[in-house]
Amino acid sequence: MPATPIAGPAIYAVDPWVRGIPKARHQLLSDDERALLAKISSIVRFKKGETIYQEGDAAEAAFNIISGVVTAYRRLADGDHVSSFVYQGDIFGLSEQGCYTNSAKAATAVVAYKIPLSALRRILEQHADLDIDLIIKLCEGLREAQHHALLLARKHAATRLAMFLELLERLQIARGEPAAEIHLPVGRSSIAAYLGLTPASLSRALRTLTSRKIISSRDLRHIRILDRAAFQKVADTNGAGP
Protein backbone atom coordinates (compact mmCIF):
# COMPACT_ATOMS: atom_id res chain seq x y z
CA MET A 1 0.00 0.00 0.00
CA PRO A 2 2.27 2.79 -1.16
CA ALA A 3 1.14 6.14 0.08
CA THR A 4 1.77 9.06 -2.21
CA PRO A 5 2.50 12.75 -2.27
CA ILE A 6 0.35 15.72 -2.67
CA ALA A 7 -1.26 17.90 -5.20
CA GLY A 8 -1.81 20.66 -2.78
CA PRO A 9 -1.94 21.75 0.80
CA ALA A 10 -3.20 18.40 1.85
CA ILE A 11 -2.62 18.45 5.46
CA TYR A 12 -3.85 19.47 8.69
CA ALA A 13 -6.26 18.32 11.33
CA VAL A 14 -3.93 19.90 13.81
CA ASP A 15 -4.25 23.33 15.21
CA PRO A 16 -3.66 25.16 18.44
CA TRP A 17 -6.39 23.02 19.99
CA VAL A 18 -4.55 19.87 19.30
CA ARG A 19 -3.43 19.42 22.86
CA GLY A 20 -6.79 20.10 24.35
CA ILE A 21 -5.48 23.23 25.97
CA PRO A 22 -5.39 26.09 23.54
CA LYS A 23 -2.25 28.20 23.50
CA ALA A 24 -2.24 31.76 22.43
CA ARG A 25 -0.86 31.95 18.93
CA HIS A 26 1.88 34.24 20.06
CA GLN A 27 3.02 32.17 22.98
CA LEU A 28 3.73 28.81 21.43
CA LEU A 29 7.06 28.28 23.05
CA SER A 30 7.33 27.72 26.77
CA ASP A 31 10.09 29.37 28.73
CA ASP A 32 11.94 26.08 28.91
CA GLU A 33 11.72 25.67 25.19
CA ARG A 34 12.95 29.16 24.63
CA ALA A 35 15.90 28.55 26.90
CA LEU A 36 16.72 25.40 25.01
CA LEU A 37 16.57 27.13 21.67
CA ALA A 38 18.62 30.04 22.95
CA LYS A 39 21.38 27.66 23.96
CA ILE A 40 21.84 26.23 20.48
CA SER A 41 21.22 29.36 18.48
CA SER A 42 23.11 32.56 17.94
CA ILE A 43 21.68 36.02 17.56
CA VAL A 44 22.20 37.72 14.23
CA ARG A 45 21.41 41.21 12.98
CA PHE A 46 20.60 42.46 9.50
CA LYS A 47 20.43 45.97 8.19
CA LYS A 48 17.39 47.16 6.33
CA GLY A 49 17.52 45.90 2.78
CA GLU A 50 20.15 43.29 3.50
CA THR A 51 19.79 39.87 1.92
CA ILE A 52 19.59 37.08 4.47
CA TYR A 53 19.81 34.17 2.06
CA GLN A 54 19.00 33.40 -1.53
CA GLU A 55 17.05 30.69 -3.24
CA GLY A 56 19.35 27.79 -3.95
CA ASP A 57 21.91 28.59 -1.27
CA ALA A 58 22.89 25.66 0.91
CA ALA A 59 20.52 25.80 3.87
CA GLU A 60 22.42 25.58 7.11
CA ALA A 61 20.12 27.35 9.46
CA ALA A 62 16.60 28.44 10.18
CA PHE A 63 15.73 31.80 11.69
CA ASN A 64 13.33 32.95 14.36
CA ILE A 65 12.62 36.66 14.30
CA ILE A 66 13.13 38.63 17.51
CA SER A 67 12.31 41.99 16.00
CA GLY A 68 11.80 43.53 12.58
CA VAL A 69 10.15 42.29 9.41
CA VAL A 70 11.54 40.00 6.74
CA THR A 71 10.30 39.67 3.17
CA ALA A 72 10.31 36.15 1.73
CA TYR A 73 10.24 36.12 -2.03
CA ARG A 74 11.15 34.29 -5.18
CA ARG A 75 13.15 35.81 -7.97
CA LEU A 76 11.45 35.32 -11.32
CA ALA A 77 12.55 36.10 -14.82
CA ASP A 78 10.15 39.02 -14.92
CA GLY A 79 10.35 40.42 -11.43
CA ASP A 80 9.91 39.15 -7.92
CA HIS A 81 7.02 37.35 -6.31
CA VAL A 82 6.69 38.06 -2.61
CA SER A 83 5.38 35.00 -0.79
CA SER A 84 5.14 36.43 2.69
CA PHE A 85 6.01 39.10 5.16
CA VAL A 86 7.52 37.47 8.20
CA TYR A 87 7.07 39.07 11.59
CA GLN A 88 8.47 38.84 15.07
CA GLY A 89 8.17 35.34 16.52
CA ASP A 90 7.87 33.63 13.17
CA ILE A 91 10.24 31.01 11.91
CA PHE A 92 11.59 31.12 8.40
CA GLY A 93 14.18 29.37 6.29
CA LEU A 94 12.27 26.67 4.45
CA SER A 95 14.59 24.27 2.72
CA GLU A 96 14.22 21.35 0.37
CA GLN A 97 16.98 18.89 -0.27
CA GLY A 98 19.42 21.07 1.56
CA CYS A 99 18.75 24.29 -0.30
CA TYR A 100 16.58 27.23 0.52
CA THR A 101 13.45 27.34 -1.60
CA ASN A 102 13.10 31.09 -1.53
CA SER A 103 15.09 34.22 -0.83
CA ALA A 104 14.76 36.43 2.22
CA LYS A 105 15.72 40.01 2.85
CA ALA A 106 15.31 42.34 5.77
CA ALA A 107 12.45 44.78 5.20
CA THR A 108 13.49 46.69 8.30
CA ALA A 109 16.42 46.28 10.61
CA VAL A 110 16.13 42.73 11.90
CA VAL A 111 17.31 40.82 14.93
CA ALA A 112 16.83 37.07 14.86
CA TYR A 113 17.87 33.76 16.32
CA LYS A 114 19.87 31.72 13.88
CA ILE A 115 19.31 28.02 14.54
CA PRO A 116 21.67 25.58 12.85
CA LEU A 117 19.71 22.84 11.15
CA SER A 118 21.83 20.12 12.67
CA ALA A 119 20.95 21.33 16.14
CA LEU A 120 17.31 21.72 15.21
CA ARG A 121 17.20 18.13 14.06
CA ARG A 122 18.58 16.90 17.34
CA ILE A 123 16.15 18.94 19.34
CA LEU A 124 13.18 17.79 17.36
CA GLU A 125 14.09 14.17 17.78
CA GLN A 126 14.11 14.48 21.54
CA HIS A 127 11.67 17.18 22.39
CA ALA A 128 8.12 16.08 21.61
CA ASP A 129 6.66 19.35 22.83
CA LEU A 130 8.63 21.36 20.35
CA ASP A 131 7.40 19.11 17.60
CA ILE A 132 3.84 19.91 18.37
CA ASP A 133 4.53 23.59 18.49
CA LEU A 134 6.30 23.42 15.18
CA ILE A 135 3.33 21.57 13.74
CA ILE A 136 1.05 24.32 14.92
CA LYS A 137 3.27 26.97 13.38
CA LEU A 138 3.30 25.01 10.17
CA CYS A 139 -0.48 24.84 10.12
CA GLU A 140 -0.61 28.58 10.55
CA GLY A 141 1.83 29.03 7.71
CA LEU A 142 -0.19 26.70 5.55
CA ARG A 143 -3.36 28.64 6.19
CA GLU A 144 -1.58 31.87 5.40
CA ALA A 145 -0.33 30.48 2.11
CA GLN A 146 -3.83 29.31 1.27
CA HIS A 147 -5.17 32.72 2.10
CA HIS A 148 -2.58 34.24 -0.19
CA ALA A 149 -3.71 31.98 -3.01
CA LEU A 150 -7.31 32.93 -2.33
CA LEU A 151 -6.38 36.59 -2.49
CA LEU A 152 -4.49 36.17 -5.74
CA ALA A 153 -7.46 34.44 -7.30
CA ARG A 154 -9.46 37.65 -6.95
CA LYS A 155 -9.89 39.58 -10.11
CA HIS A 156 -10.15 43.18 -8.96
CA ALA A 157 -7.15 45.03 -7.62
CA ALA A 158 -9.22 46.77 -4.94
CA THR A 159 -10.44 43.44 -3.59
CA ARG A 160 -6.93 42.07 -3.30
CA LEU A 161 -5.82 45.21 -1.55
CA ALA A 162 -8.72 45.09 0.89
CA MET A 163 -8.05 41.44 1.70
CA PHE A 164 -4.43 42.29 2.34
CA LEU A 165 -5.27 45.18 4.63
CA GLU A 166 -7.69 42.90 6.45
CA LEU A 167 -4.86 40.43 6.96
CA LEU A 168 -2.48 43.06 8.29
CA GLU A 169 -5.13 44.32 10.67
CA ARG A 170 -5.81 40.81 11.93
CA LEU A 171 -2.12 40.24 12.57
CA GLN A 172 -1.77 43.56 14.32
CA ILE A 173 -4.61 42.64 16.65
CA ALA A 174 -3.16 39.19 17.26
CA ARG A 175 0.10 40.85 18.23
CA GLY A 176 -1.77 43.03 20.69
CA GLU A 177 -0.93 46.27 18.95
CA PRO A 178 -3.41 49.10 18.55
CA ALA A 179 -5.42 48.58 15.39
CA ALA A 180 -7.04 51.92 14.82
CA GLU A 181 -4.60 52.35 12.01
CA ILE A 182 -3.05 49.71 9.81
CA HIS A 183 0.71 49.81 9.55
CA LEU A 184 2.32 48.74 6.28
CA PRO A 185 5.61 47.02 6.98
CA VAL A 186 7.07 47.55 3.52
CA GLY A 187 6.96 49.86 0.55
CA ARG A 188 4.49 49.91 -2.32
CA SER A 189 6.44 47.79 -4.72
CA SER A 190 6.79 44.91 -2.25
CA ILE A 191 3.09 45.04 -1.52
CA ALA A 192 2.39 45.05 -5.24
CA ALA A 193 4.62 41.99 -5.64
CA TYR A 194 2.64 40.23 -2.90
CA LEU A 195 -0.69 41.16 -4.43
CA GLY A 196 0.31 40.15 -7.94
CA LEU A 197 -0.14 43.70 -9.21
CA THR A 198 2.13 46.35 -10.67
CA PRO A 199 2.98 49.29 -8.41
CA ALA A 200 0.95 51.43 -10.80
CA SER A 201 -2.18 49.32 -10.37
CA LEU A 202 -1.72 49.18 -6.62
CA SER A 203 -1.50 52.94 -6.54
CA ARG A 204 -4.71 53.21 -8.51
CA ALA A 205 -6.45 50.74 -6.22
CA LEU A 206 -5.46 52.80 -3.20
CA ARG A 207 -6.71 55.89 -4.95
CA THR A 208 -10.02 54.24 -5.69
CA LEU A 209 -10.64 53.26 -2.07
CA THR A 210 -9.42 56.62 -0.84
CA SER A 211 -11.60 58.67 -3.15
CA ARG A 212 -14.59 56.52 -2.21
CA LYS A 213 -13.86 57.48 1.44
CA ILE A 214 -13.45 53.84 2.38
CA ILE A 215 -9.90 54.31 3.61
CA SER A 216 -7.54 57.21 4.21
CA SER A 217 -3.79 57.22 4.51
CA ARG A 218 -1.85 59.41 6.89
CA ASP A 219 1.37 58.73 5.05
CA LEU A 220 2.87 56.00 2.88
CA ARG A 221 2.89 53.51 5.75
CA HIS A 222 -0.33 54.15 7.63
CA ILE A 223 -3.87 53.45 6.51
CA ARG A 224 -7.11 53.88 8.35
CA ILE A 225 -10.41 52.25 7.50
CA LEU A 226 -13.13 54.89 7.40
CA ASP A 227 -16.14 52.94 6.19
CA ARG A 228 -16.03 49.45 7.57
CA ALA A 229 -19.17 48.22 5.84
CA ALA A 230 -18.06 49.36 2.42
CA PHE A 231 -14.61 47.97 3.11
CA GLN A 232 -15.98 44.55 3.91
CA LYS A 233 -18.06 44.62 0.80
CA VAL A 234 -15.03 45.28 -1.35
CA ALA A 235 -13.06 42.55 0.43
CA ASP A 236 -15.82 39.95 0.41
CA THR A 237 -18.17 40.12 -2.50
CA ASN A 238 -16.60 42.32 -5.11
CA GLY A 239 -13.77 41.25 -7.33
CA ALA A 240 -14.97 37.73 -7.39
CA GLY A 241 -12.77 34.84 -8.24
CA PRO A 242 -13.93 33.99 -11.76
Interacting residues with DNA between 163 and 222 (CB under 7 A): 187-189, 196-207, 219-221
Query: Which residue in the set 40, 109, 111, 132 belongs to the binding site for a second copy (CB under 8 A)?
Result: 132
Rounded to a whole number of angstroms, the minimum distance from the CB of residue 20 to DNA is 41
Report yes or no: 236 and 204 within 8 Å, Cβ to Cβ. Answer: no
73 pairs with which residues across the strands?
A: 82, 103
Q: Which is nearer to DNA, 101 or 108 (CB)?
A: 108
Near DNA in 91-150, by CB under 7 A: none
Near a second copy in 166-225, by CB under 8 A: 167-168, 171, 174-176, 185, 192-193, 196-198, 201
Query: Which residue in the set 36, 158, 163, 209 belongs to the binding site for DNA (CB under 7 A)?
Result: 158
Instruction: Give the HSE-up count for residue 97: Cα atoms under 13 Å, Cβ half-sphere.
Output: 2
64 pairs with which residues across the strands?
A: 91, 113
Residue 167 identity: L
Binding pattern to a second copy, positions 12-51, x when CB under 8 A?
xxxxxxxxx----xxxxx----x-----------------
CA distance 212 to 234: 11
The backbone torsions φ and ψ at residue 170, rounded to the nearest 5 degrees and listed phi first, read -60, -45
Q: Which is nearer to a second copy, 40 or 226 (CB)?
A: 40
Residue 15 interacting entry, from a second copy, DNA, none, C-beta within 5 to 8 Å by type: a second copy
Distances (CA, A) of 224 to 169, 214, 219: 10, 9, 10
Report yes or no: 184 and 191 within 8 Å, Cβ to Cβ. Answer: yes
Residues forming contacts to DNA in the complex (CB under 7 A) are 155-158, 187-189, 196-207, 219-221, 239-240, 242
